[in-house]
Amino acid sequence: MFKRYLLAPGPTPVPHEALLAMAAPVLHHRTPQFAEVFRKVAAGSKVLFGTRQPVLPLASSGTGAMEAAVTNTLSAGDRVLVVSGGKFGERWAEIARAHGLEAIEIAVEWGAAVDPGQVAEALRRHRGVRAVLMQHSETSTTALHPLEAIAALTRDTDVLLIVDGITSVGVIETRMDEVGIDVLVTGSQKAIMLPPGLALIALSDKAWAAADRSTLPRYYFDLAKARASFAEDSTAYTPAISFIVGLEAVYRLIEEQGGWPAVYRRHRILAEATRRGVEAMGLRLLAPSSPSPAATGVWVPEGVDGGALTKYLRDVMGVTVAGGQGKLKGKILRLGHIGYADTFDVIVGLSAVEMALRQFGTSVVLGRGPAAAQEILLQMYQPCGGE
Amino acid sequence: MFKRYLLAPGPTPVPHEALLAMAAPVLHHRTPQFAEVFRKVAAGSKVLFGTRQPVLPLASSGTGAMEAAVTNTLSAGDRVLVVSGGKFGERWAEIARAHGLEAIEIAVEWGAAVDPGQVAEALRRHRGVRAVLMQHSETSTTALHPLEAIAALTRDTDVLLIVDGITSVGVIETRMDEVGIDVLVTGSQKAIMLPPGLALIALSDKAWAAADRSTLPRYYFDLAKARASFAEDSTAYTPAISFIVGLEAVYRLIEEQGGWPAVYRRHRILAEATRRGVEAMGLRLLAPSSPSPAATGVWVPEGVDGGALTKYLRDVMGVTVAGGQGKLKGKILRLGHIGYADTFDVIVGLSAVEMALRQFGTSVVLGRGPAAAQEILLQMYQPCGGE
């Protein structure tokens, strides 16, 4: 039988507990029954974000919440810094410019993490910067940016730190309030393990104050209105009901399986196993110095067409990994290990890539990738120790 | 997340196409809509069995159909030969004796296939044998018995050949009419890829004639009554409706993916890859000389408790393989590769067993099993060639 394995950095597979919850008859959203589910989700989301602020659910994908982050806190003509080291960094700049902001891009080599010194320097050189916009995990390059070091630059200033946590929230511990993130955004199809269609967003007190001053036009993504409804266990417009129900199932499942600390530990192990595996296969990491625990990018070997390789993996072997985006198109593979991923997803991904590379005429030695990964994956079955 | 992998020789995982079909609102069984589904299933089952006879669906597990095979064709006091080389061989003898038959067991070492010469010799020595009862694939030992050679002994005689095809039908091509099988039985939770709860049974003309003479009491499993209802696209008693609907989905899925020849080829490749994998790990096969393509039995290494090993695999690693049954309890593992199984199920099973054996203190070298399997599994992605 042709089975499909979804090993991309999102969407990730959805646990059957969540699928079944989402398939149950639809609740009406203006009922006490829904309000109860909503409250549980609200409480769970605060833990996930590490915040005492309301975490607002939006019926949109992550990009909608990214736009909401901009339109609710800034105004036309505002000057912002954008950490631009991949496709999603570029997206921040595009959103900012679409709304008449002046976006100054801090260029980072794709695959590298931004040097906080570059951000500090840009803040000094450019006067009147209102916000720094960045990814925590840049999904397109699988690099992890040094969020805390950058937050240290903005925390005690008037500059807002607006963070796309789409592939970091739920993967790495996020302490929004303590670190000093002003706007934090994530999406449902990543560590939250749901289909795409729900986004979460939270604002710091500093960001809510900025929202009062912001003059950009907004309606569907009006977060002040969302916050007012949130106080009544509801949303301003019709919520994505089945996603809220699914999210409650996910939070319960995670709680039953050791809570978020176990999830963060698992992502660390799966990511390290994947990196050791691809290195054992003789492949080079795209982001060796600051790799994301959400996904691992590797350079496709010389002479192999990365597009054809990902197509072969997907259509012939049933294994969906991500290729490169933008300037990396055709040059890399990205193996996701985010969300509903475990030991054997790593083994499947590595063994599939080995076999596919063999079919593409490279001299890969079968089994080296899985073997190196297995050594690390044994940690999945050890007690957590000091972690 | 704790994911579960079902790698036993049945029940096997169920493809989501079948799960969704079975989850649809229940049809009433005395309707033209159900009759249409029933006819499609009847046509598909004839192809599966390799017969022009009606293949009767029974709402029971395989053992019910085994009992039906006996109670519909034999009578108290009848003498039968039973090929007894495992737990399911023993079951034939138990069923026969429960109904007052004289069961003469042909003892076969567990893990070995019966020598057709033994059967020929027993048929000569014991006068008046009415039937030979055997497994094609003995699931408990993962040995494959030489069905065609035994059929050659009974085909042109009055002796019935009654075959448990529970882990062979749909795994190896079955040509019931051509080979001369008189009663053939299978169950839904194996190559048919459904949950347990449906059995299929077909009788040759010789077996139907024997049914007319059989005097054993029967009601629920009265196959003459089932055949009369079958002619009207129905069953004698309430059918397992959702299973018939699920079976139609399975037959359609198999048709879409290259038909049964592709299924048989896949089982051959997965079985060979599993055998090469476990041998590369230094484990000994339980049935080296005539292995079943449905599952692979291996001896647990000296000093390792097989029961604890399967429990660890299941409860800690989420990987359900089968242990030993009867006299093999605690001594073997059985890795299933039947039904809804593919390349990566083999890789998952082998890598899990390696890691579990490492946790149990053996000196297994990680990665050898998957590597050896990968070499064979590449065939999954080659054109079928002359096969």
* CATH number, position B60: 3.40.640.10
Q: Are residues A32 and A94 in the same domain?
A: yes
What secondary structure, in 3-state letters, does B174-228 show?
Answer: CCHHHHCCCEEEEECCCCCCCCCCCEEEEECHHHHHHHHHCCCCCCCCCHHHHHH
Residue A45 CA to residue A52 CA, distance in Å, equals 10
Region for A361 from its dihedrals, namely left if φ exceeds 0, alpha if ψ lies in -120 to 50, beta otherwise: left
**Domain check: are A95 and A193 in the same one?**
yes
Quote the CA–CA distance of B50 and B44 in Å, as a whole number. 10
Residue A11 lies in a domain: no
How many structural domains comprise chain A?
A: 2
User: What are the counts of helices (DSSP H) followed by strands (DSSP E) for chain B?
Assistant: 14, 14
> Cβ–Cβ of B370/A375 closer than 8 Å?
no
Q: Chain B residues with CB inside 8 Å of A257's CB?
A: 1-2
Closest residue in A to B261 (Cα–Cα): A1
Contact A368 B367 (CB under 8 A): yes
Q: Is residue A41 domain-shared with residue A133, that is, in the same domain?
A: yes
Let me know whether B139 and B225 are in one domain.
yes
> pLDDT category, B384, cuts 50, 70, 90?
low
Over range A206-219, report the average pLDDT. 97
User: pLDDT tens-digit profile of B121-140?
Assistant: 999 999 999 999 999 999 99
Residue B366 DSSP symbol: T
> Over 80: is that where the pLDDT of A387 sits?
no
Judge whether residue A348 has pLDDT over 80: yes
Instruction: State whether B348 and A352 contact (CB < 8 Å).
Output: no
The gap from C-alpha A353 to its chain's centroid, in whole angstroms, comes to 24
pLDDT classification of A386: cutoffs 50, 70, 90:
very low
Q: What's residue B290's pLDDT?
A: 98
Give the model's pLDDT for residue A2: 87
**Shared-domain flag, residues B230 and B322:** no
**What residues have CB less than 8 Å from A125, skipping those under 6 apart?**
none
Please give the torsion angle defined by the CA atoms of residues A378, A379, A385 and B4, in that order, rounded to the nearest 10 degrees: -90
CB contact under 8 A, A1 and B371: no
Q: Which of A203, A221, A255 is the last residue of a domain?
A: A255
Mean pLDDT, range A119-131, rounded to an integer: 97
CA distance B295 to chain A (A): 16
A378–B359 C-beta distance less than 8 A: yes
| Domain assignment present for B318 | yes
Q: Is the pLDDT of residue B108 over 60?
A: yes
Binning pLDDT at 50, 70 and 90, where does residue B2 land? confident
Q: What is the pLDDT of residue A1?
A: 77
**Residue A214, in any domain of the structure:** yes
For A347, the closest of B15, B340, B348 (CB atoms) is B348
Question: Pick from A204, A233, A255: which residue ends a domain?
Answer: A255
Would you tell me how many other CB atoms lie within 10 Å of the CB of residue A385? Answer: 7
Residue B159 and residue B201 in contact, taking contact as beta carbons nearer than 8 Å? no
Q: Are residues A88 and A128 in the same domain?
A: yes
Q: Which residue of B has its CA nearest to A381?
A: B316
- Section A347-360 average pLDDT: 98
Task: List, for residues B47-102, the tens digit of each pLDDT value.
Answer: 999 999 999 999 999 999 999 999 999 999 999 999 999 999 999 999 999 999 99
Domain contains B1: no
In this structure, the answer to whether residues B296 and B233 fall within a common structural domain is: no
Structural domain includes residue A1: no
Q: Which residue has the tokens 């990902």?
A: A310
User: Which residues on chain B are in Cβ contact (under 8 Å) with A3?
Assistant: 340, 342, 344-345
Same domain, B174 and B286: no
Query: Which chain A residues touch B if contact means CB-CB below 8 Å?
Result: 1-3, 5, 15, 193, 253, 257, 263, 266, 316-319, 339-345, 347-348, 351-352, 354-355, 358-359, 365-368, 370-372, 374-375, 377-378, 381
Kindly state whether residue B3 falls inside one of the protein's structural domains: no
Q: What is the pLDDT of residues B222-276, one digit of tens each?
A: 999 999 999 999 999 999 999 999 999 999 999 999 999 999 999 999 999 999 9
When CB atoms are compared, the residue of A15, A368, A370 closest to B1 is: A15
Cβ neighbours of A316 in B, within 8 Å? 381
Q: Please give, rounded to a whole number of angstroms, the shortest distance from the CA of A89 to a CA of chain B.
A: 30
The residues on B that touch A, with CB distances below 8 Å, are 1-3, 5, 15, 193, 253, 257, 263, 266, 316-319, 339-345, 347-348, 351-352, 354-355, 358-359, 365-368, 370-372, 374-375, 377-378, 381
Same domain, A54 and A34: yes
Q: In sequence order, what are the residues at sequence separation of 6 or more whose Cβ sits closer than 8 angstroms to the Cβ of residue B376?
A: B269, B272, B273, B276
Residue B387 falls inside a structural domain: no
**Residues A249 and A280 placed together within one structural domain of the fold:** no
Q: Are residues B196 and B281 in the same domain?
A: no
Tens digit of each residue's pLDDT (9 = 90 or more) over B299-352: 999 999 999 999 999 999 999 999 999 999 999 999 999 999 999 999 999 999
Give me the count of residues in chain A: 387
Backbone angles phi, psi at B29, to 5 degrees: -85, -15
Q: Which residue of B has its CA nearest to A354?
A: B374
- In total, the C-beta contacts within 8 angstroms joining chain A to chain B are 108
Domain boundary among A240, A255, A270: A255
Q: What are φ and ψ of residue B148, in 5° steps? A: -65, -35
Average pLDDT over residues A311-316: 97
Which residue in chain A is spatially nearest to B342 when comparing CA positions?
Answer: A1
Q: How far apart are CA B357 and CA A107, in angstroms?
A: 49
DSSP letters along B59-77, please? SS-HHHHHHHHHHHH--TT
Inside any domain, residue B127: yes
Q: B51 with B185, same domain?
A: yes
What is the pLDDT of chain A when averaged over all its residues? 96
Q: Cβ neighbours of residue A320 under 8 Å, at least 6 residues apart? A: A4, A5, A6, A7, A8, A313, A314
**Which CATH number characterizes residue A274's domain?**
3.90.1150.10
Contact between A319 and B371 using a beta-carbon 8 Å cutoff: no
Does the beta-carbon distance from B344 to A3 stay under 8 Å? yes
Summary mean pLDDT of chain B = 96
Domain hosting B285: range is 260-381
Q: Are residues B367 and A374, on separate chains, in Cβ contact within 8 Å? A: yes
Average pLDDT rounded to a whole number, residues A98-106? 98
A383, pLDDT greater than 80: no
Residue B355: list chain A partners with CB under 8 A. Answer: 343, 374, 377-378, 381
Measured in angstroms, the CA of A15 and the nearest CA of chain B are apart by 9
Note whether B348 contacts A348, CB cutoff 8 Å: yes
Token pair of B163, please?
């075959």
pLDDT band at B1; cut points 50, 70, 90: confident
| Statement: residue A54 has pLDDT above 60 | yes
pLDDT tens readout for residues B137-186: 999 999 999 999 999 999 999 999 999 999 999 999 999 999 999 999 99
